Amino acid sequence: MSSSYNSICSISETFVSLQGEGAWAGWPCFFIRLSGCNLRCSYCDTRYAYTELEKRDIPGLIAEWRQSRIRLVEVTGGEPLLQPATPILLKALVNEGARVLLETNGSLPVSSVPREVIKILDRKTPGSGMEKFWLEDNLCWLNQGDQLKFVITDREDYRWAREEVLRLCLWHYTEVLFSPAWNSLAPSDLASWIVADRLPVRFQVQLHKVLWGDKRGI
């Protein structure tokens, strides 16, 4: 076992829930939420993760994941790639047999993410206030099974996102997800716009919020 395996991660929380988004929506999932974020999105629902933290080593996290008896694990934040130990944690989970998802805000390079990890890459829109922090080079690191996610706040945001999809032919890279911002845009409006435009993107809602509302640890 390498010494890096004992690296320390700053954790906001761990919990078990249903995966709420993307291709794995509906599956039971063990979540590891790392603390700290370099962005400040207008609709952020995990502000507590900016500062709250507990220091945990990777073997301890692996042991907790094993006790959950769930193969699917999502590493999220905050922004997980702010921490140098994150690629080590991801690889350790893969080596232990987990099916690993990584949710990242698109502002930091994903080149250090192990190939076996499924990346869910956010493309921040103007409605988030953080669209300028996008690293377009990250598109080159997307593999089959990865996902590119837009959270849409209103009609203007939708128009902007639609132009991004068409400008970059994003469907050639990976599956593109459009999701309405919770309590900001009616899901039916977004669905209607996608259908009217025949846009090659996949509509989704945040399943965990539909089921349980905007609560922590779900």
40 makes contact with ligand SF4 (CB under 6 A): yes
CA distance 110 to 101: 13
Q: Closer CB to ligand SF4, residue 46 or residue 68?
A: 46
| Residue 87 engages ligand SF4 in binding (rule: CB under 6 A) | no
Binding status of residue 68 toward ligand SF4 by CB under 6 A? no
Residue 44 binding ligand SF4, by CB under 6 A = yes
The nearest distance, CB 58 to ligand SF4, in angstroms, is: 22
Q: Rounded to whole angstroms, how far apart are CA atoms 22 and 177? A: 7
In eight-state DSSP terms, residue 181 is P
Q: How far apart are CA 107 and CA 169, in angstroms?
A: 20
Distance between CA atoms of 136 and 140, rounded to whole angstroms? 8
Distance (Å, rounded) from C-alpha 168 to C-alpha 172?
9
SS3 216: coil
- Specify the amino acid at residue 56: R
41 binds ligand SF4 (CB under 6 A): yes
Does residue 80 interact with ligand SF4 by CB under 6 A?
no
Distances (CA, A) of 83 to 12, 137, 192: 13, 20, 39
Binding to ligand SF4 by residue 92, rule CB under 6 A? no
Listed ranges 4-12, 40-48, 109-117, 168-176: which one lies at the site for ligand SF4 (CB under 6 A) = 40-48
**Contact with ligand SF4 (CB under 6 A): which of 17, 46, 68, 112?**
46
Pick the stretch among 18-26, 34-42, 65-73, 171-179 that binds ligand SF4 (CB under 6 A).
34-42
Structure token digits, residue 132:
């300028």
Task: Give the residue with the Cβ less far from ligand SF4, 76 or 174.
Answer: 76
Task: Choose between 39 and 165: whose C-beta lies nearer to ligand SF4.
Answer: 39
How far is residue 198's CA from residue 81's CA, in Å, rounded to a whole number?
Answer: 34
| Smallest distance, ligand SF4 to C-beta of residue 149, A | 11
49: helix, strand or coil:
helix
34 binds ligand SF4 (CB under 6 A): no
Give the angle subtended at the CA of 138 by the CAs of 72 and 90, to the nearest 5°: 30
Instruction: Please select the residue that binds ligand SF4; options are 20, 22, 77, 87, rule is CB under 6 A.
Output: 77
Q: Is 60 helix (H, G, I), strand (E, B) or coil?
A: helix
* Region of 32-40, 53-61, 183-191, 206-214 interacting with ligand SF4 (CB under 6 A): 32-40
In the complex, the residues that contact ligand SF4 under the rule CB under 6 A are 37, 39-41, 44, 46, 77-79, 105
